[in-house]
Amino acid sequence: MTDRRPTLDEVAKAAGVSRATASRAINGGLRVSPQAQRAVDTAVKRLGFVPNRAARALATSQHGSIALVISEPDELFLSDPFLTGVLRGVSGALEGIDLQLVLLIANRNRPAERMAQFLGGGHVDGAIITSLHRGDMMEDQVRGLLPTVFIGRPFDHEGLTYVDVDNDKGGQIATRVLIDAGRRHIGTVSGPSDMTASLDRIAGWRRALSEAGLSTDAIESGNFTIKGAEEATVRLLARFPETDGIFVASDTMAIGVNRAIAAAGRRVPQDIALVGFDNLGMADATTPRLTTINNPLLRMVESATKMLLERIARRDLPAEQVILTPTLVPGESV
């Protein structure tokens, strides 16, 4: 006995049709005669063949491509490990599937209306959209236009499919680590105030501090960049010189936070303890190694790609939301 699954080639041979015809018949494609459809259906049942979502999506594809839309300036895309990780992840998830990946950078020079015209213009079968900002209007532009999955919760997410990490919970975990270490003047260097990930991480930071009876005043935005975080930390320490702990909303920003702390003549973790967020490789670039929160990017991207392929294959699927759980990655900065 063997548990080997029957292949599409075996189904085609048993049905007496070509592999392409068998694929179209199984996956709902067009141009299959009634006789061929019946023969393939019989072979599938007899052999116990189970089609996969990738094959189904490929068979029902009209254009042979999907879009990855990143709503950030070109220069940030090239330097941000989250965004480059999304690109690598989607490309990897499509390996072995004959669907072309089209990268679109949606910045101020390419407004949402123009992007939506391209997406709805018969060029791609579906889209994955990430790094949305409030005011981008991408949610409204693509709603009902084509199969779309968001990585990161959109502001107006009703009726939309997205995958995200529980950023609020991650902010709570990070802040409680600092509280448990005895820190009582805990600030945060946040991301932009026009992104849900940033706002949710701030909310988690505030929740943990409020539950501990500590102040939630010490906050500055670093805009998810090293330079922005360095400047934000200078402002934070000027306003709150008693700061003894900082939750940094991304590991990339923690590099800038570290620089500002050192320039102020203070040490990590002796004077100021740090906890970051992402665990995408940048934690190893800090000294001491950064304690951080794991953002399960690979799982997010794999889930988003899977969900998009399912929606290309079946346009009637309802909206779905997947929220993944963040975890602590201990380091030496607390």
What sign does the dihedral 179-181-187-191 (CA atoms) show? negative
Q: What is the pLDDT of residue 151?
A: 97
Q: What is the pLDDT of residue 1?
A: 38
Q: How confident is the model at residue 108 (pLDDT cuts 50, 70, 90)?
A: low
Domains in the chain with CATH codes: 8-51 (1.10.260.40), 65-165+298-326 (3.40.50.2300), 167-294 (3.40.50.2300)
Q: What is the pLDDT of residue 204?
A: 98
Q: What is the pLDDT of residue 107?
A: 67
How far apart CA 122 and CA 99 sit, in angstroms, is: 15
| CB atoms near residue 242 (< 10 Å) | 10
Q: Which residues of 268-298 are buried (b: 16+ CB within 10 A; e: fewer)?
A: bbeebbbbbbbbbebbeebeeebbbbbbbbe
Q: What is the pLDDT of residue 54?
A: 61
Q: What is the pLDDT of residue 3?
A: 57
User: Is 245 strand, coil or helix?
Assistant: strand
What mean pLDDT, rounded, does the chain reach? 90
Residue 288 has pLDDT above 60, yes or no: yes
How far apart CA 24 and CA 31 sit, in angstroms, is: 8
Residue 326 has pLDDT above 80, yes or no: yes
Average pLDDT estimate for 149-161: 94
Residue 122 has pLDDT above 90, yes or no: no
Q: What is the pLDDT of residue 60?
A: 64
Percent of the chain whose predicted confidence (pLDDT) is above 90: 62
pLDDT top residue among 194 and 111: 194
Q: Which residues contact 264 (CB under 8 A, 6 or more apart)?
A: 234, 237
Tokens matching residue 311: 């929606």
- How many angstroms from the chain centroid is the CA of residue 326? 13
34-38, 110-114, 308-312: which range is least confident on average?
A: 110-114
Q: Tell me if the bond preceding 269 is cis, omega within 30° of 0.
A: yes
Tokens matching residue 13: 């041979």
Q: What is the pLDDT of residue 284?
A: 85
Residue 96 has pLDDT above 60, yes or no: yes
| CB atoms near residue 159 (< 10 Å) | 10
pLDDT top residue among 209 and 138: 209
Residue 2 has pLDDT above 50, yes or no: no
| CB atoms near residue 255 (< 10 Å) | 21
Average pLDDT estimate for 44-63: 72
pLDDT tens sequence across 225-267:
999 999 999 999 999 999 999 999 999 999 999 999 999 999 9
Q: What is the pLDDT of residue 32?
A: 78
Tokens matching residue 328: 């602590």
pLDDT tens sequence across 179-191:
999 999 999 999 9
Average pLDDT estimate for 295-312: 94
Crossing angle of helices 297-313 and 53-60, in 10° steps, is 50
Q: Which residues contact 46 (CB under 8 A, 6 or more apart)?
A: 14
Q: What is the pLDDT of residue 29?
A: 56
